[in-house]
Amino acid sequence: MKKLASGFLLIGVNLALAGDVNFTPGEISVFQNPLGTFIDVQVTVEPVAPSFTEIRVLLGSDDVPLIDFELNPGWISPGGFTDLEGPLIQPGLGIYPYEVLFGGSVSSGEVTADKLVAGILTLDLSNLPPGDYTVVVNPDRDGDLSGVRHQGGLEPLNGTLLIHIVPEPGAIALLALAAPLAFGYSRRRR
């Protein structure tokens, strides 16, 4: 700390920059379907550091089954990673009920990229009741397992995919018909 002449204290703050894990589409709305709804989502990693030696990503959800992850061939092409980790579906880390872990590193040198298409994540939205759900990359929850390693240290990664399951239109129509009938029946009884 350095005391300034005006009496204020100048405090050094170390702000950790975080990279992003983006999902395309970034938000999904689907009708509830007990027969099977499988959605493919592209996963992209955008580190803040211009060059790095390793990326690890843990995708997790408390409610949405993550059933498959296919790495993008560019993840391992020339200029990409030489050593791969995963993808591991349900690696047994116990951080989330549903998990996918993947990563890559180089044994020498660095990877330079501002955006890496990691791959395609397949979600099973079957039998989920109407409501809002998420798939996340959260360094606070995974203990900095998800991150980008570079010469300056570890850059955490963050990302959220929003999923909205809405009632099937037939169920909405039944509710719309039943509500007036129930209201009319209760008025007649009085």
Query: Cis before residue 47, ω within 30 degrees of 0?
Result: no
The pair of three-digit structure tokens given for residue 172, joined into one six-digit string: 């909405």
Give the pLDDT band of residue 111 (cuts 50, 70, 90).
confident
Enter the pTM of the model. 0.78
> 108 is written with which tokens?
């020498």
Residue 64 CB partners (closer than 8 Å, separation 6+): 98, 123, 124, 125, 128, 133, 134, 135, 163
The domain tally of the chain equals: 1
CB-facing half-sphere around the CA of 45: CA atoms within 13 A: 32
Is 97 inside any structural domain? yes
Q: Which residues, 6+ apart, have CB-to-CB distance to 150 below 8 Å?
A: 47, 49, 51, 52, 53, 110
Model pLDDT for residues 4-60, shown as the tens digit of each residue: 333 333 333 333 467 899 999 988 888 888 777 899 999 999 988 888 899 999 999
Q: 51-52 and 54-61: which strand pairing?
A: unpaired
Determine what percent of the chain is predicted with pLDDT higher than 90. Answer: 44
Mean pLDDT of 54-76: 90
Residue 1 lies in a domain: no
Q: How far apart are CA 104 and CA 59, in angstroms?
A: 15
Query: Is residue 79 a part of any domain in this protein?
Result: yes
Residue 56 falls within a domain, yes or no?
Answer: yes
Please give the pLDDT value at position 182: 53
Arithmetic mean of pLDDT, 59-83: 85
Which CATH number belongs to the domain containing residue 39 in this structure? 2.60.40.680
Range of the structural domain that residue 140 is part of? 17-169
Residue 109 lies in a domain: yes
* Residue 179: predicted pLDDT: 53
DSSP symbol at 74: G
